[in-house]
Every structure is written in C-alpha cells, then in structure tokens.
Amino acid sequence: MPDVYGVILEALRPHLGPRAEVVMEEGLKRLGKHPHELTPEDGAFLLKGLVYRELQARLSPQEAKRLVEGLLERISPAGGSLEELEKGLKRFGLYVDWPEVARLRALVNRLRQEPDPRLLREGKELLAALEEKLEEALLRQAKDLAHLEETLERVRHLGGPKVRRLENLLETIRQAHAEGLFAPAEVERARNLALELRKFLESSAVKAPTLPEIVFETQEEAPAHKHPTDVFLTVEDASELEGELIVDLEALSEEAARRIQALEVEEERRKLEELLARHAPLLERATVSPLLAEVEALLEAGTPVGEKLKLLEEALQEAEKNLRAERRARLIQMGEALRTLPLPEEAKASLESALRLAEETLEEGGHPDLLPLEEELRRLEEEARRRALEEKRLLEEKEALIQELSARGEAFLPLLQELTALPPEALPQGLAQVRARYAELLKAQGEEAALKAKLAEAEKALEALRPEAEVLGLEGMVAEAEALLREGRLPDLEGLRTRLEEAKAQARQEALLELARLQALAERFRGFGGEGVLRAIEEEKRKPLPDPAPIARALQALRRRLEAKQEELLTRLTAFLQAEARLHGFQSETSRRLKPLLPVLESARERLSRLGPKGLAQVEKTLGEAEALLRELEREAEAAKAVLQEIRGADLEALLGVFDPNPKEGSQEDLGRLRLPGVEALGYLEQPERMEAPLASLQEPLEALKLSLDRLDEGLGQRRGPAVVLLGEKALVLSERRGHTLVALLERASLSAFLLELAP
C-alpha cells in the first residue's frame, strides 16, 4: 500500500506551499488518525473534500479537478479491491436475510460498472461489520450447540424418531460450525425439538394424541380421593409417535409444572432476543412497541407468552414491509424532485447515482440510509435557489452600474456600452472586469475620494467575511481580494459571498456523509459506549457546519477500549480454563451445570480477537456465570477434601468399596447412584429377600405385572424400555438393568430425574 499521507503532501506542496502541512494536519484531525494510519479510502475522502476546496482557492476549477483525479489514481491500491469485495460477497451471500449482505451486493454491482473510492471504503467497512456479525453468530451457535448436546444426553434414552431427528440435526450443526458456517434454520429446528423432548422428560403425565392409555386397576374400586392407577407406555414407545407431544400441565405436580414452564420461558426469551437483534430499527414503531412491552413484562414475570411471541414476530414483519414501502416512496419523491431541479446534469449526477444505489439496496433486501440523500437533495435545492438569486443579483448590479456610469459623462460612455452589451451568462466575469476598469477610470478622472470610499467599504466587508472563509479553508480567496484592494481595484465581494455559501453547503454535505459513515460504526458499539457517540452525532448534525473530527476521535477511543477488553477477557478465560482443568475429575451437580459452558468459552477464546462489542458482551456474561460456578465447585472440592482428611485410614479403606466404579452386576451395591431424593424403595425382582419395604410385600403382583409386560413385548415384537405405573403422587418403575428387573417406588416429582439417571 502506498504512503498515502506522503504522496498527497508531496503533490500539494508546489501548489499550497507551507499551507499543505496545515491542510493535511486538519484532515488527520477530522479522521482521528495518525499519518501512517491513513488508508487509500481516507486519502480519497480528504482529496475530494478538504484538499479540493483548498486547491479551488489557488487554481482554476479544471486544474484543481485534474490534480485531485491524478492523486486518486496514485493512491488507489493496485487492483484487488473489487475482487476483495466480490470474495467477501461470495462468502457471506449465504445469509440472504442480513441487510448488510444486501447492501454489499448492491455496492459490488455498482462498482462493477464504475469505480468509486467512497463506495469501496463503505464496502470494506461492511465486510468488517459482517465478519464481526458472523463471529458473534458463531459464538451464539456454539452456545446453542452446547445446550443441544446436553439436552441430547438427557433425552437419548427415550429413543424414537424425534431423538434420532435431533441427533441428525446436531450432526449437521456440528459440521457447519466446524466449517465456520452459521446454520440458524437447523439450530431453530433442533431447539424446538429439544424443548419438546425436555418437556416430555420433565413430565410424568405425558399424553400422546393418538395413543390410548392402558389402565390397570389394582383395586376393585379406587378411593374417590386418589387418582386412578394409570400405566402408560414406556417413554421410548411414546416417543415413536409423530406429531407434537401434548403435556397435560393440570395433571402434573406443582414442581413439575414449574420446571416445564421455566423451560418454555427460557426458550421464548432466547427467541425474543433474536427477534430484537434482527429487527432493531423497528422496535419503536407504534404497531410493535405496545406488544413488545407486554411480551417483555410477561417473560420478566416468568410467564410463557405463547402465541403473543408469534404475534410480535408478525407485527415486526409487517412493520418492516411498511418501512420498506415508505422508503421506496421517499426514493420516488426524491427522484422526481431531483429531475425537476433547474441545474446542469453534471451537478445532479452524483445524487442520481446515489439514489439508484439506494433503490438497488432496497431491492436486494437491505435498509438504505436516506438521510444523507435527503440532505444532498436539500443542498442541491439550495444551490438552485442561490443560482437564481445570483442571476438576479448580477442583473440588479448591472442595472445599478449602468445608472451610475450614465451619470459620469462621456469618459465613461465606452464602458457603459460594453456593460450594456454583456449577455446574462457572461455577467459573472464581465462585471468583475467592468468594475476594475471603472476603478481605473475614476482614478484617471481624479475622483480618488469616491474610489477610496468604495475601497474602504469593500475592505470592511471583506474583513467580515474572513472568519467564515478561514473555517471553510478558503483564505486564499480572501487573500486574492485583499491583493486587488491594495492595487486599488474593487474585488467581487458578492461573488466571494456566493462562493462561501457554496463551499459551506458542500462542506456540510461532506461532513454529513462522514457522520453517516461514523454512525454505522458507532451502531456496532451499542452497549459498549456507542450510545454516547450516537447522541453526539445527532447533536453534530444539527449544527450549521458539523465537525466529524471529535466523533472520529471518540470512536478511536472506543476501539482502544475494545482492544483492552479483549485482552482482559483473554486473561480471565485463560485463568478460568486452567483452574477448571484442575477440578475436571470432581463430580457434582455444580460440575454438571458448568459442563455445557466449557465448549462455549473454549470457542470464545479462539475467536476473541475477531469479536466485536456485542460478541465480547456475550463472552463476558457467559464467563461471569462460569466463574461463579467454578468458585462454588472449588468450595465443594475443598469441603470434600476436608471430610476425607478427617476419615481415618482404616475407615477410608472400608469406605472405598462405596466408590467402586464396577460393582457386581445385579448386586445391591450398584444401586447407589439411583438413590435420589424422593426414591423410597429399590430392589431387584429376582432377589426378593433383599427387596426393600414396601416392595418386599408386593412380590407376586410385581411378577404378574412383569409377565404382562413381557407378553406385550412379544405381541408387539419390540423390546420395551422403563415402564411406569402412576399411583397418585407415587410412581412405580420396572426396568431391565444388567440382566435383572429393577423395581423402584418413588415420588412422582422425582420421576424425570430418576429416568435420566437410569439411562445407560
């Protein structure tokens, strides 16, 4: 890449002298960069704005334009810019519903027709934004993948087509994730299926739509205050059914109903977050905000929103359609207004091109920003108005000068005739020449007093124009007018005022375009200090002459803060993963809760340097949760260690058998991990002498029930999984385990956890 700063400075020195360094320093301040950080796109921005205005004060418009165009060619990268955007479009083209992709596609199409440094710069910034967005999406996908992996482990023992479908979806997501691809549709289907299976597992009263219940009456007449004794098919058999599984919440215990409701609320919160991120510009719409507030309030209270979430999504989609229709109508109105403006075609060409690009962006599915286009249209309308006023002023000045020359006598008659013959299009230059000759004639005729009065008046007016000219970088024009005054000639002050107005309008438009670019960057820093920058941008836009320099410096400060946050999180992540590795073998409920967070944090460490502010916020939140769990796990490990140290050596040796990972199959010792809270009795049907009460007294009916289930297996030609008999608030489980028949009596609320632990 060429030394952009050095190339431009060297080219400007012959024309601007020492002023070249001042102009370039001012440009660097506006961009918030150092000389070595100047990119070709930055150089193009300076050349087409600040530098071009400065050159216009020293050179003719044609010479200034040729110099700027030559410098643009010299600092442009040697090919590859458009190819880089095309390569990026090919990579991100899969994500057709991302507005940034639509804008990038429109930019590439336009750049294929005509090179434009400003559009190239926007395209590269879009690529950077897309890289950040993809990394954030992959981070969320890693979290979803960990959640789905954990869910699959919980429900795998259910068997059936739904579990197999979840396994297939997970394999597809794993492969896409390994290739760096975002697979939102597959993740959404997998999460819906996982939620359905989790609800099935958490419920001990699941009804399948087409499956009749099999009821065994254990008593001739069940007492009225008790539930009938229901026997359902095994979970594996029930999961073979297609269609949605219906959970009867009224038949559940209060605890089980709460668990299922919590699962639904958690999934709805995740879906709401995705909706809000996807439709961020639409949240304040009148058709959206009341419904959004209601959904958020319900979820905050822990209440499932059900159909309201779907209604909210439909409202957002309708609002997006309306927004696109509004923008299309505004583009049509702007195009018609531009067409009727009484300006040369070359003056309107830039806005016409920008309007076409906005239309293409809208057609591709993007959201073009119309504010800079509307501001440019206002500038052109103001320019058309100024031109009309300038023509009127020149005509009025011509008439006034004609009357003044008519009263001066025969010596001024040739000048009067020359002035009268001037056509309207020649007035801008012709009047200046007539004024100069008029001043010479006044001096020749001995009317120095009148000339001095005119010169003094012009000098006073010029001094009033100086501050504004300095702000706009047009001191050269003021210096030329001063030189004319020193020579005793009258400068065209009205023409200078017109030039200043044009320069002010042009400077405002360029500043607004730069602010629009900076606003897109600041949007990426929402939640990371970007809100303050966005407010500053809105305040700056309201000024007569906005200054992007403070905004650029503020964004540079945010970038440095982002880099510091990346370093901080990398340090914390490394320390956390090292500490967790030391406790990796320690098993507890806390370690089980921590386990799904580990792959997410490992993935985050790999892509930390590529994440933007939103991604870092996700990492910090997940890391905070994991660190809290790790501290709890460390306390548990220390407590366990302290207990072990208190046990005497002989006692420890006697207790080691409890932790034997391979107890004799079918023995009572291998039932230890099934003795969960709520489990009242356990035993093997083949060992009646060791069966725990009250199961010991039910040997005969239990054997009869097992025989009935065996015959059912033979008739269906399939092997059953765990069979559950619901006895009011109790549950009886029969399950094949290591060649024996396990029987368990437990509380109904503990059934889900027991079945999960029973899974191989």
pLDDT attached to residue 169: 92
Q: Positive or negative CA dihedral for 699, 700, 703, 704? A: negative
567: its two tokens: 């370093």
Helix, coil or strand: residue 736: strand
The torsion angles phi and psi of 579, rounded to 5 degrees, stand at -65, -40
Average pLDDT on 414-420 reads: 79
Question: In whole numbers, what is the pLDDT of the chain averaged over residues?
Answer: 79
Residue 409 has pLDDT above 80, yes or no: no
Q: Rounded distance, CA 51 to CA 8, Å?
A: 9
Residue 162 has pLDDT above 80, yes or no: yes
Which of 393 and 448 is assigned the larger pLDDT?
393
Nearest to 576 by CA among 559, 601, 552: 601
Q: Band of the pLDDT at 225, cuts 50, 70, 90?
A: very low
396: its two tokens: 């009025």
Residue 656 has pLDDT above 50, yes or no: no
Residue 431 has pLDDT above 80, yes or no: no
342: its two tokens: 């009484």
What percentage of the chain reaches a pLDDT higher than 70?
87
The residue length of the chain stands at 760
Residues 6+ apart with CB under 8 A from 758: 157, 674, 722, 733, 735, 737, 742
Lowest mean pLDDT among 52-61, 112-121, 562-571, 744-753: 52-61
When computed from its CA atoms, the radius of gyration of the chain, rounded to whole angstroms, is 40
Lowest mean pLDDT among 204-218, 336-350, 446-460, 691-705: 204-218
Answer yes or no: are the C-beta atoms of 186 and 173 closer than 8 Å.
Answer: yes
Write the DSSP symbol of residue 283: T
The torsion angles phi and psi of 678, rounded to 5 degrees, stand at 100, -15
What percentage of the chain reaches a pLDDT higher than 90?
3
Answer yes or no: are the C-beta atoms of 540 and 548 closer than 8 Å.
Answer: yes
Count CB-CB contacts under 10 A for residue 1: 9
The torsion angles phi and psi of 662, rounded to 5 degrees, stand at -130, 65
pLDDT attached to residue 214: 34
Answer yes or no: are the C-beta atoms of 494 and 462 closer than 8 Å.
Answer: no
pLDDT attached to residue 634: 87
21-49: per-residue pLDDT in tens?
888 888 888 777 888 888 887 888 788 77
Residue 228 has pLDDT above 80, yes or no: no
Answer yes or no: are the C-beta atoms of 229 and 215 closer than 8 Å.
Answer: yes
Q: Band of the pLDDT at 172, cuts 50, 70, 90?
A: very high
Which of 696 and 352 is assigned the larger pLDDT?
352
Residue 411 has pLDDT above 50, yes or no: yes
Q: How far apart are the first and last CA of the chain?
A: 62
Which of 143 and 484 is assigned the larger pLDDT?
143
Q: What angle do CA 319, 323, 328 make, to 5 degrees?
A: 150
Which of 450 and 279 is assigned the larger pLDDT?
279
Answer yes or no: are the C-beta atoms of 664 and 672 closer than 8 Å.
Answer: no
Residue 466 has pLDDT above 70, yes or no: yes
Per residue in 552-571, is it b (16+ CB within 10 Å) or e — as a string? Answer: bebbeebeeebeebbeebee
Q: Rounded distance, CA 156 to CA 167, Å?
A: 9
E strands along 199-348, which residues? 206-207, 214-215, 230-232, 246-247
Average pLDDT on 232-241 reads: 41
348: its two tokens: 């309107």
Answer yes or no: are the C-beta atoms of 656 and 647 closer than 8 Å.
Answer: no
- Only one residue has tokens 């994440």, namely 611
Count CB-CB contacts under 10 A for residue 522: 24
Instruction: Give, to the nearest 10 degrees, the angle between helix 4-16 and helix 61-75.
Output: 160
Alpha-helix residue ranges (DSSP H) falling in 647-678: 649-655
Q: Rounded distance, CA 743 to CA 696, Å?
A: 10
Q: Rounded distance, CA 498 to CA 165, Å?
A: 73
Q: Rounded distance, CA 62 to CA 72, Å?
A: 15
Residue 234 has pLDDT above 50, yes or no: no
Q: Rounded distance, CA 575 to CA 596, Å?
A: 18
Q: Band of the pLDDT at 420, cuts 50, 70, 90?
A: confident
Q: Rounded distance, CA 738 to CA 375, Å?
A: 78
CATH numbers and ranges of domains, the chain: 665-758 (3.30.450.30)
Residues 6+ apart with CB under 8 A from 437: 415
pLDDT attached to residue 171: 92
pTM of the model: 0.63
579: its two tokens: 């500490």
* Residues linked to residue 734 through DSSP beta bridges, in sequence order: 723, 743
Residue 191 has pLDDT above 80, yes or no: yes
Q: What angle do CA 354, 358, 360 make, to 5 degrees?
A: 115
Residue 279 has pLDDT above 60, yes or no: yes
Average pLDDT on 345-356 reads: 86
Residues 6+ apart with CB under 8 A from 92: 98, 100, 101, 104, 130, 134
Which of 339 and 665 is assigned the larger pLDDT?
339
Average pLDDT on 525-548 reads: 85
Instruction: Give the H or E element holding residue 247.
Output: strand 246-247
Average pLDDT on 459-465 reads: 80
Lowest mean pLDDT among 105-119, 226-240, 485-499: 226-240
Residue 665 has pLDDT above 70, yes or no: no
596-631: per-residue pLDDT in tens?
888 888 888 888 888 888 888 888 989 998 999 999
Q: Rounded distance, CA 441 to CA 490, Å?
A: 12
pLDDT attached to residue 232: 38
Q: Rounded distance, CA 101 to CA 75, Å?
A: 28
Nearest to 503 by CA among 471, 549, 533: 471
Q: Rounded distance, CA 178 to CA 162, Å?
A: 24
Give the DSSP letter string of 627-668. Answer: HHHHHHHHHHHHHHHHHHHHS-HHHHHHHGGGG-SSPPTTSG
- Only one residue has tokens 């013959």, namely 421
Q: Rounded distance, CA 463 to CA 683, Å?
A: 105
Q: Rounded distance, CA 177 to CA 283, Å?
A: 31
122: its two tokens: 């926007």
